[in-house]
Chain A
Amino acid sequence: MSELEDADTIFIIGSNTATSHPLVATRIFRAIEKGARVLVADPRKNQIAAFAHLYVRHRPGTDVALLNGMMKVILDQGLEDKAFIADNTEEFEGFKNLIHAVSLDEVSGITGVSVEDIQTLAETYAKADKASIVYCMGITQHTNGVNNVKSLANLAMLTGNIGKYATGVNPLRGQNNVQGACDMGGLPNVYTGYQPVTLGAANKKFAEAWGVSELPSKIGLTIPEMLHGIEKGEVKALWIMGENPVVSDPDANHVVKALEKLELLIVQDIFLTPTARLAHLVLPGVSFAEKDGTFSNTERRVTRVRKAVAPVGDSRQDWQIIQDISSRFGYKMEYDSPETIFKEIASLTPSYGGMTYERLEGPGLQWPCPSPEHPGTPFLHKDGKFTRGKGLFHAIGYKPPAELTDEEYPFCMTTGRVYAHYHTGTMTRNSKSLDFEVPEGFLEMNPADAEALDLCDGHRVRMASRRGEIETRIMITERVEKGVVFMPFHFEESNVNKLTNPAYDPIAKIPEFKVCAVKLEKVS
């Protein structure tokens, strides 16, 4: 993260950094202090936009169009890094042909950003010595999220801004231990350290270590696929640990219906969440303050979690719950502490191989850290080298979002966070200081729209999409453009995910939280 401080241009797209990743914003503010130029592209004018060299407000879901427009300018003006492209990348020709066919006027029409601004964005980024890109869920939570990310990679490769200090394409992870959950194999296709379940060698290694004759090699189901499986009667039991899909997943009504169909729903959590209320069995785990373990942050740094106080009531360590159920199920587990589990992780995961609790004292370690002497790896992709050979260009054309506005649903709604809350609010809304700051949900709306609907600040509206409806209070602000409304997703009583579209990206399976069409009506 500290690397960002030394970039001379930072392009922030689809990230409300000051709110969602405050300590990353710190680095960006420092870079600005040192003279860096910041470019911000976001449908909603966020706090950092006020410090931007240029802020552009592109329409939700038009990221690829905007990026292609920028790359068109770069190629037209010959600002690309020819040597870098020749030495380090492949498939440039196909990409170039696609970009050549792009028309800036069309891009401007699609995105709502002027040709001049697209030019400035492109020139500023391309002429920088060390340019970093920062993105977050505003890029990934779309039906074409993977294409958005690939387009950002195209942009970075085109200008040689990758594989060097203070450059690159930097994703900001949404939740605290997303990195860790992925690293640990909390995914249907990989074991720890991204070792594929389909790969014979990895499959064998884990089967041996875990003392079973074989392990399934068929890729499992993602969350949306599991929900679908439940509906078809193929998935009958679900064990949810520490998640609250009824509030966090798109099309909440549909999620509830699916969960109600299960023969067995086990929910392990620290509060009785709306998801837990549907369960057959609720298991009280413990909070981070009552347990030992490790988290892995967005810069791959593994640090310790330490038990500060005894668990409340009869709640139990989450690892112990899993161990006990597993043993009773017939698969014996006999760990005596999280540290023993961590030793096993290190022994099976090359990137964590050199880590021990003792070595994690102090600043922690960033993976890959393959051996006991290895100091960890603060920067990936040094010296313009990619992990797997050369960087690949992808020719990606613009595709509109899955759901467009129409006469019946004329507003484009997008979702996000507020500074005082986190995710589904399970923890933050039980904190008195945070609840004081922002006690209820609200909908941001442009003054022109408010006037047309005869609404004043604080009035209540009924908002409906093709999937459901909710009521909420409105906040009038120019942060959003006419025709676009924004709502945070932390509030179960005005659960915006009753409206969002579960259509998801075909590869990453990330749902399109960021764009859906809604209609609004004043509540009298």
Chain B
Amino acid sequence: MIDRVKQKINELLSGGSVKGVVALANANGHVAPCLFQKGDDLQHLSLGDRETSGDARYPLNKVLTTIARQYPDEVFGVLVRGCDERGLHILFRLNQLAADKVVPIGISCPETLALQCECKKPWPDEMTAGEKSQGVAQKRVEAAEGLDLKERFSFWTEQFSKCIKCYGCRDICPMCFCKECSLECEDLVSKGDLPVDIPVFHLTRAMHMADRCIDCGLCEEACPADIPLRLLYKKTSKIMNTEFGFTSGMNKNEISPLSMMGPAPKK
């Protein structure tokens, strides 16, 4: 698969159709986000699989956003998995990136990763390499829904109490880009103290991400308190799906129901 990706990156760079490609590279015994430009050695290219598949994934769309902000007229390639492609759809719609300035290089995820992510669609529509594996059912959410209200309440209260307010869930998130972050709004969340306001801090973020979270799971992996954040956001996204038939990023041109006024559209 990696050879196919290298070939594609080479084509893009040498053909001059992109200024650079945002992907991953092996360096210093680790894997890091990297911008490949014309003439760079692709030997160090990595797809983010080290010991297990996808264990060295990074928010490449976020990296791309940082670079594109500085170079708005250039075109860039970016390595995307299914979730990242969903992310691009939303970033285009919310004007964080320009669709005509981005060339996605899509790769599919293997079954192991799809199972671990409980991913609905572990492949991008525009696929450069790999084969589609099955979408996976949301068992974690179902299990959590199986708890009675009291158990659920104490489960989440206990989980949230571990939070050390690192803001890592926000800082790693490829879909977080607000200039004024609602987590820093003192009318919602008080600052300067630990533990954070429970459950306001975490639910504020869950609400805020309801039509944006593309379920990449990076937040949960970055949480030093091991809070099952992805589960929380999966549940939020399930509500969006049942109530509005909306799954964020799944459909390229779909507009978020939360950005429309008036009653919910008929199912």
Contact surface of A with B, Cβ cutoff 8 Å? 18-19, 22-23, 25-26, 29-30, 33, 47, 50-51, 304, 306, 361-363, 418-420, 433, 436-438, 475
A438 B192 Cβ-Cβ under 8 A: yes
A26 B226 Cβ-Cβ under 8 A: yes
Q: Hey, which chain B residues are within 8 Å of A33, CB to CB?
A: 226
A18 B194 Cβ-Cβ under 8 A: yes
B224 A436 Cβ-Cβ under 8 A: no
B94 within 8 A of A: no
B226 A50 Cβ-Cβ under 8 A: no
Q: Can you identify 29 A-B contacts, CB atoms within 8 angstroms?
A: A18-B164, A19-B164, A22-B164, A23-B224, A25-B225, A29-B225, A29-B226, A30-B226, A33-B226, A47-B161, A47-B164, A47-B194, A47-B195, A51-B158, A51-B161, A304-B28, A361-B29, A362-B30, A418-B192, A419-B164, A419-B165, A419-B194, A436-B191, A437-B165, A437-B191, A437-B192, A438-B191, A438-B192, A475-B193
Interface residue total, chain B, C-beta cutoff 8 A: 19
Interface centre among A304, A363, A419 (most CB of B within 10 A): A419
Q: Hey, which chain B residues are within 8 Å of A363, CB to CB?
A: 29
B28 A361 Cβ-Cβ under 8 A: yes
Q: Hey, which chain B residues are within 8 Å of A30, CB to CB?
A: 226
B166 within 8 A of A: yes
A50 B164 Cβ-Cβ under 8 A: no
CB distance from A260 to the nearest CB of B (A): 35
B162 within 8 A of A: yes
Q: Hey, which chain B residues are within 8 Å of A306, CB to CB?
A: 28
Q: Using a CB-CB cutoff of 8 Å, which residues 152-172 of chain B contact chain A?
A: 158, 161-162, 164-167
CB distance from B88 to the nearest CB of A (A): 27
CB distance from A293 to the nearest CB of B (A): 14
CB distance from B168 to the nearest CB of A (A): 10
B184 within 8 A of A: yes
Q: Using a CB-CB cutoff of 8 Å, which residues 100-129 of chain B contact chain A?
A: none
Q: Hey, which chain A residues are within 8 Å of B195, CB to CB?
A: 47, 50
- Excluding A47-B164, A50-B161, A437-B191, 4 further A-B contacts by CB distance (< 8 Å) are A22-B224, A30-B226, A304-B28, A419-B165
Q: How far is it, in angstroms, between the C-alpha of A274 and the C-alpha of B83 when the chains are bound?
A: 50
Q: Hey, which chain A residues are within 8 Å of B164, CB to CB?
A: 18-19, 22, 25, 47, 419
A25 B192 Cβ-Cβ under 8 A: no
A29 B162 Cβ-Cβ under 8 A: yes
Q: How far is it, in angstroms, between the C-alpha of A438 and the C-alpha of B162 when the chains are bound?
A: 20
Q: Hey, which chain A residues are within 8 Å of B192, CB to CB?
A: 418, 420, 437-438
A436 B225 Cβ-Cβ under 8 A: no
CB-based nearest A residue for B184? A436
Q: How far is it, in angstroms, between the C-alpha of A23 and the C-alpha of B192 when the chains are bound?
A: 20
Q: Hey, which chain B residues are within 8 Å of A29, CB to CB?
A: 162, 225-226
Q: Among A19, A22, A362, A475, which residue has its beta carbon within 8 angstroms of that of B28?
A: A362
CB distance from B239 to the nearest CB of A (A): 27
CB-based nearest A residue for B223? A26
Q: Using a CB-CB cutoff of 8 Å, which residues 175-194 of chain B contact chain A?
A: 184, 191-194
Q: Hey, which chain A residues are within 8 Å of B224, CB to CB?
A: 22-23, 25-26
Q: How far is it, in angstroms, between the C-alpha of A418 and the C-alpha of B193 when the chains are bound?
A: 8
CB distance from A467 to the nearest CB of B (A): 28
CB distance from A340 to the nearest CB of B (A): 20
Q: How far is it, in angstroms, between the C-alpha of A316 and the C-alpha of B218 when the chains are bound?
A: 38
CB-based nearest B residue for A362? B29
**Chain B 17-48, CB within 8 Å of chain A: the 1/0 string?**
00000000000111000000000000000000
Q: Among B161, B166, B184, B193, which residue has its beta carbon within 8 angstroms of that of A22?
A: B166
Q: Hey, which chain B residues are within 8 Å of A22, CB to CB?
A: 164, 166, 224
Q: How far is it, in angstroms, between the C-alpha of A438 and the C-alpha of B164 when the chains are bound?
A: 14
CB distance from A36 to the nearest CB of B (A): 14
Q: Hey, which chain B residues are within 8 Å of A19, CB to CB?
A: 164, 194
Q: Hey, which chain A residues are within 8 Å of B29, CB to CB?
A: 361-363
CB distance from A201 to the nearest CB of B (A): 37
**Chain B 191-203, CB within 8 Å of chain A: the 1/0 string?**
1111100000000
Q: Hey, which chain B residues are within 8 Å of A437, CB to CB?
A: 165, 191-192
B162 A51 Cβ-Cβ under 8 A: yes
CB-based nearest B residue for A16? B194
CB-based nearest B residue for A304? B28
CB-based nearest A residue for B192? A438
Q: Using a CB-CB cutoff of 8 Å, which residues 190-220 of chain B contact chain A?
A: 191-195
CB distance from A67 to the nearest CB of B (A): 27
Q: Hey, which chain A residues are within 8 Å of B30, CB to CB?
A: 362
Q: Hey, which chain B residues are within 8 Å of A436, CB to CB?
A: 184, 191
Q: How far is it, in angstroms, between the C-alpha of A29 and the C-alpha of B226 when the chains are bound?
A: 8
CB-based nearest B residue for A433? B167
CB distance from A298 to the nearest CB of B (A): 16
Q: Hey, which chain A residues are within 8 Å of B184, CB to CB?
A: 436
CB distance from A351 to the nearest CB of B (A): 22
Q: Hey, which chain B residues are within 8 Å of A433, CB to CB?
A: 167
Q: How far is it, in angstroms, between the C-alpha of A436 and the C-alpha of B183 when the chains are bound?
A: 12
Interface centre among A30, A47, A363, A438 (most CB of B within 10 A): A47
Q: Using a CB-CB cutoff of 8 Å, which residues 227-251 of chain B contact chain A?
A: none
Q: Hey, which chain A residues are within 8 Å of B158, CB to CB?
A: 51
CB distance from B164 to the nearest CB of A (A): 5
CB-based nearest A residue for B29? A362
CB distance from B266 to the nearest CB of A (A): 44
CB distance from B159 to the nearest CB of A (A): 10
Q: How far is it, in angstroms, between the C-alpha of A11 and the C-alpha of B15 when the chains are bound?
A: 62
Which 3 residue pairs are nearest across A and B when measured between Cβ atoms? A362-B29, A361-B29, A26-B224
Q: Hey, which chain A residues are within 8 Å of B165, CB to CB?
A: 419, 437
CB-based nearest B residue for A48? B162
CB distance from A4 to the nearest CB of B (A): 14
CB distance from A375 to the nearest CB of B (A): 14
Q: How far is it, in angstroms, between the C-alpha of A23 and the C-alpha of B226 when the chains are bound?
A: 11
CB distance from B197 to the nearest CB of A (A): 14
CB distance from A206 to the nearest CB of B (A): 32
Q: Hey, which chain B residues are within 8 Å of A18, CB to CB?
A: 164, 194
Q: Hey, which chain A residues are within 8 Å of B191, CB to CB?
A: 436-438
Q: Hey, which chain B residues are within 8 Å of A420, CB to CB?
A: 192
CB distance from A282 to the nearest CB of B (A): 32
CB distance from B101 to the nearest CB of A (A): 27
Q: How far is it, in angstroms, between the C-alpha of A438 and the C-alpha of B191 when the chains are bound?
A: 7
Q: How far is it, in angstroms, between the C-alpha of A306 and the C-alpha of B224 when the chains are bound?
A: 24
CB-based nearest A residue for B227? A29
CB distance from A250 to the nearest CB of B (A): 25
CB distance from A466 to the nearest CB of B (A): 30
